[in-house]
Amino acid sequence: MSAEQIFSWIHNFLVFDPKNPFIFTSGLFWIFFALVLVVDSFIYKKRLVRHAFLFLVSMFFYYKTTDLFFLLLLFTAVWDYSIGGIIHRAKSEGARKAWLTASIIMNLSILCYFKYAYFFTDAYNSIVGTNIQAFDIAAHWSNSFFGTHFSIDKIILPVGISFFTFQSISYTVEIYRRQLEPVKHFTDFAFFVSFFPQLVAGPIVRSTDFIPQLYKEYKLTKAEFGLAVFWILNGLVKKLFLSDYIAVNFIDRIFSKPDSYTGFENLMAIYGYSLQVYADFSGYTDMAIGIALLMGFYLTKNFDSPYKATNVGEFWRRWHMSLSNWLRDYLYIPLGGNQKGSVGSFIILGIFVSMIALLAQSMLVLAIGSGFIITLSLLGYFIKSFGKWLTTNLNLMITMLIGGLWHGASWNFIIWGGLNGLGLVFYKLWKKISPWENKSKWYFRAWAIFLTFSFISFTRVWFRAGSNNSWSEMEEKHDIASEFLSATTMLDRIFNHMDLSIAPQVIMGYWKIFAVILFGMVIHWLPSSFKESYREKFANLPTAAIVAICVLTVVFCYQIISADLQPFIYFQF
């Protein structure tokens, strides 16, 4: 390799390239990570230096992932670090609450601007009848004051903004609640917010879980090293072998043109997509957990075999656990949880009803919605038992609706969240009368798992449609009716064009895909104790054996790639 080629490679490594971002499945990332480990091995005993170094490399990682938006992450770190100290030093409760409010408003304002500007602009246009186009104010200011040449035509969504925003909010909230002391050095907090393994797709790490680890002595046992390698390999297999393979060769084809396929093929694509999105997201967090463990940090567990769930409530206790727990502690419980209602609950409900009515441009919808809310409120006030039931489920529905909106600026995500909320409410009613609820027979449990998996899979028709919507590029309407209908073609094919006579032909034609799906589900449904046993056995293997398995696994995974490396699904959230 000539000197010119070496300099060219170094330049490409250091400079942002949208076609080659840092993702866990790219070779560039592993070169980057190897360099980080080498430097870290010399400085790990110098805590302040180590945190500063890991903060800088995390910012570099984010720059390589999403260009100059690393400045936004830096601003978030400076803002909440400062606010956290002010809240801790404030004498009066009013001042502490005011500064906490300032922190939350600033974080959510930034999140809403980048993530929901098109959504709210489109809503405003529908309501007022205008044709306002969203444009990038930040880029406009930069061009005006600094002479830059950023495009202002599109607002680009920073990768992982939902994750690090929620993570940063947890810091000021926990200080306000006196559950956490503020960190002494800015680099400590900035490192917590920007820690690169989980920065762009989670898990959402709580300050009370991670910050105490900053001040512990770094150590890595042989077993921990083996376990870290296991999680990395496990995630790599999930992503490349399970998720990407079935997506590129089957699922994406069906979802792109569902009306070109029979109901059976659409049904298999829906079930397959549930495995794809799980393998993709949990594969990322598996690798994040393994990478962090190699550096001596423990990340929050994010998945607990969610497709073993026998009901919707159990599913959400097993799926994306860091987000579910965040919404529970910072939204559901403050709204009153399952104990009481609050003014905030009815205000948020009123906002959702008003948005739907205004977007529908119908005063009748607004009148019916308002009358419904007032009627429920009066019934809850005069009938105490109904009131408790109402507020509990109202808070639950609001949490699920906002959880859906967290995933993206699309009515499809809100519909998806609402359907899951209705599933939770329905199950709470059903379990009181179900004749099978307390049965321990294996076939009752299997039937419950199948029903839960089917319900979750069918709601993901709207989730998948929402994931494909790009507000800055699509010209289609984005009102609730058109977005709802955009996801119903597959359901129409399933319920009205189910041709089971071609099922054997489809299975034979895609037998490799179905074999991989079956393999993934069987592994998923293995007992947790069995999985723990083979993880421990792997972790305790001789180092030479671990290295050999690593090489074989990596070669296998990259041999089956039939297209360019696919980005992780949750990067867009």
Please provide the DSSP assignment of 161-179 as one string: HHHHHHHHHHHHHHHHTTS
428 and 476 within one domain: no
171 and 147 within one domain: yes
Residue 24 lies in a domain: yes
How many domains are contained in the chain?
Answer: 3
Residue 459 lies in a domain: no
- Residue 199's pLDDT band (boundaries 50, 70, 90)? confident
> Which residues, including other chains, have CB under 8 Å from residue 301's CB and lie 6 or more apart?
203, 289, 321
Of 159, 186, 218, the residue that ends a domain is 218
379 and 262 within one domain: no
248 and 144 within one domain: no
Of 200, 218, 236, the residue that ends a domain is 218
- pTM here is 0.85
Residue 563 has pLDDT above 70, yes or no: no
Of 427, 443, 459, the residue that ends a domain is 443
316 and 288 within one domain: no
- Residue 484's pLDDT band (boundaries 50, 70, 90)? low
Q: Stretch 375-387: mean pLDDT, rounded?
A: 71
- Please return the burial class of 247, using the count of CB atoms within 10 Å of its CB with bins 0-12, 13-18 and 19+: buried
Residue 43 lies in a domain: yes
171 and 22 within one domain: yes
Residue 225 lies in a domain: yes
229 and 102 within one domain: no
Q: Stretch 426-437: mean pLDDT, rounded?
A: 78
Q: Stretch 346-370: mean pLDDT, rounded?
A: 65
Alpha-carbon span 523 to 557, nearest angstrom: 17
- Residue 275's pLDDT band (boundaries 50, 70, 90)? very high
104 and 211 within one domain: yes
Report the Cα 435 to chain-centroid distance in Å.
36
Residue 460 has pLDDT above 80, yes or no: yes
Supply the DSSP symbol for 456. H
- Please return the burial class of 102, using the count of CB atoms within 10 Å of its CB with bins 0-12, 13-18 and 19+: middle
Residue 572 has pLDDT above 70, yes or no: no
489 and 539 within one domain: yes
- Residue 309's pLDDT band (boundaries 50, 70, 90)? very high
338 and 282 within one domain: no
Q: Specify the length of the chain in residues.
A: 573
Mean pLDDT of the chain: 81
Q: What is the dihedral of CA 53, 58, 59, 63, to 10 degrees?
A: 140
408 and 334 within one domain: yes
Residue 280 lies in a domain: yes
> What is the residue range of 155's domain?
17-218
Residue 195 lies in a domain: yes
Highest mean pLDDT among 198-212, 226-240, 327-341, 458-472: 226-240
421 and 289 within one domain: no
Residue 470 has pLDDT above 50, yes or no: no
Alpha-carbon span 269 to 264, nearest angstrom: 9
The one-letter code for the residue type at 199 is L
pLDDT of residue 365: 63
pLDDT of residue 139: 64
Structure tokens, 247: 């997506």
Residue 451 lies in a domain: no
Residue 453 lies in a domain: no
54-90 pLDDT, tens digit per residue, is 999 998 888 888 877 888 889 999 999 999 999 999 8
Q: Stretch 285-305: mean pLDDT, rounded?
A: 91
